[in-house]
Amino acid sequence: MSTNTPNTKDAMSVNVSPTAASGQESYVVTEGKKRGSTREVRDEAAHDRFYTVLKVHAGDAILTDNWHTNEVFGHLRNNFEGITFAMRTLEAWGAMFENDKRAYYTAGGRVWVLDLEPSAAKKPRLPGTGKG
């Protein structure tokens, strides 16, 4: 026996706005930590938004000077600093954007700060940064 009233909705009768259905709503991550997972697409995370990572640092955190911290920090510097990434790629790898100038990335059990600069397009690595 059904007790549905006009004000009650079941799980299958979800209202979808016309604007939500007009564009791409999600995408499948093909790279990074969460390969194969589905992510929501945000307007800000379009393919044509690029950011150059100017600097990787610990922010306000006080880091222990040990092998693990130094290895993770060195890896991040060598593989992020000076490189231009699509916003979508950084988010697929787990970066959380605060604004156009800063993002946070978790690696090695620590939160690292990525200082960013918006870029018009993909460009070569900045000279004097990382291994390249």
pLDDT tens by residue, 11-50 = 434 444 444 444 555 555 555 555 566 655 555 555 568 9
**7 and 13 Cβ atoms separated by less than 8 Å:** no
Q: How confident is the model at residue 118, as a pLDDT?
A: 92
pLDDT higher for 120 or 112? 112
With a pLDDT cut of 70, the percent of the chain lying above it is 60
Instruction: Give the C-alpha separation, 111 to 43, whole Å.
Output: 25
Instruction: Give the C-alpha separation, 83 to 119, whole Å.
Output: 11
Q: How confident is the model at residue 71, as a pLDDT?
A: 94
Query: In 91-122, which positions are buried (b, 16+ CB within 10 angstroms) versus exposed (e)?
Result: bbbebebeeeeebebebeebebbbbbeeeeee
21 φ, ψ to 5°?
-85, -10
User: Model's pTM, two decimal places?
Assistant: 0.61
Instruction: Give the C-alpha separation, 94 to 104, whole Å.
Output: 9
Instruction: Give the C-alpha separation, 29 to 21, whole Å.
Output: 20
Q: How confident is the model at residue 23, as a pLDDT?
A: 52
Comparing CA positions, the residue from 62, 56, 36, 64 lying closest to residue 129 is: 56
Arithmetic mean of pLDDT over the chain = 74
Q: How confident is the model at residue 122, as a pLDDT?
A: 75
